[in-house]
Amino acid sequence: MAISNTGWTPGWTTNPPQAGDQLLAISGSTILKPSEGWFLSWKSVGHQGAGCEAVALGTWDGKPVYVTELADPDLPGLEPVALRDALLLMDEAPADLLSTGFQVWQWWRDHRYCGRCGLETAFHPAERAKWCEPCGIPWYPRLAPCVIVVIRREDRLLLARSSRARHHFYSLIAGFVEPGESLEEAVAREVKEETGLDVANVRYQSSQPWPFPHQLMVGFFADYAGGELVLQEDELADADWFLPGDTPPVPPQTTIAGRLIRAMEHDIARGGGDL
């Protein structure tokens, strides 16, 4: 992700946490944040008992860090911070670690039982996976690839406002990749479905994990290749072509949408036809 935090190193172990290990404490889609930093000590939540599980994430400043969901989220001194607010609004948030933590916890919570035979799963002995011994199936954390694309038409770019958005940003066309599709085919299909437009010259730009709940956003540039705007009403409330520097409010630079829009604006401003 664009937000870098030098203290974070992903890693995996089946070892349970020790008293001094660091703990990313969550409750639903909320981080339970102490006044200093982002972590509690495992010792400090020990009173929550054996029902409080923790899953390894890696290390932070060289010390093990785990994620857990607290049975009692009302511990004194903890401030609830919505994950979405942390990733969108807080430049100081360790975005990589938070994204990893929520996705790993979701995997842990949702794969207690084998999806094929229904028996309880165990830790895989060597990998970050739950393991069904009778079926011989490792259940890995799920990832859902999604494409997101900024489309250029001469010196303008296409921005759209989602009909489901809770904010007033104009953003980009995006959607989940379907089975059997390449990423480029997913871009062309999503753009056609949502806007009626054809695109060409679809080219990769950057990517971002987006833990709502387990998306991997894959960002592209594309060129307008034909058609007139016909909006899919259950997806888009509005869409139009905008000149760089004259756009409505767009997502912040902590998001891949915001960064793709800025990158395309720079590309247009310097007269380039490509990256």
Nearer to Zn ion, 108 or 170 (CB): 108
Nearer to Zn ion, 87 or 132 (CB): 132
Task: Give how many residues touch Zn ion by CB under 5 A.
Answer: 5
Q: Closest separation between CB of residue 117 and Zn ion, Å?
A: 3
Tokens 């200093």, residue? Answer: 36
Nearer to Zn ion, 116 or 266 (CB): 116
Nearer to Zn ion, 76 or 134 (CB): 134
Map the footprint of Zn ion across residues 54-83, applying CB under 5 A. Answer: none
- First and final CA of the chain: distance in angstroms? 19
Residue whose C-alpha is closest to residue 257's, from 186, 206, 188: 206
Gap between the Cα atoms of 271 and 35, Å rounded: 47
Residue whose C-alpha is closest to residue 248's, from 236, 259, 238, 235: 238
Q: Closest separation between CB of residue 120 and Zn ion, Å?
A: 9
Q: Closest separation between CB of residue 179 and Zn ion, Å?
A: 22
Residue whose C-alpha is closest to residue 138's, from 150, 151, 126: 126
Q: Closest separation between CB of residue 104 and Zn ion, Å?
A: 21
Neighbours of 267 (CB within 10 A): 19
E strands in 47-195: 55-60, 63-69, 79-82, 122-123, 130-132, 137-139, 144-153, 156-162, 173-176
DSSP string for 151-178: EEETTEEEEEEESS-SS---B-EEEEPP
Map the footprint of Zn ion across residues 174-203, applying CB under 5 A. Answer: none
Q: Closest separation between CB of residue 118 and Zn ion, Å?
A: 7
Map the footprint of Zn ion across residues 105-144, applying CB under 5 A. Answer: 114, 116-117, 132, 135
Nearer to Zn ion, 77 or 115 (CB): 115
Nearer to Zn ion, 123 or 212 (CB): 123
Q: What are phi and psi of 124, to 5 degrees?
A: -65, 140
Q: Closest separation between CB of residue 115 and Zn ion, Å?
A: 8
Count CA atoms within 13 Å of residue 89 on its CB side: 6
Interaction site with Zn ion (CB under 5 A): 114, 116-117, 132, 135
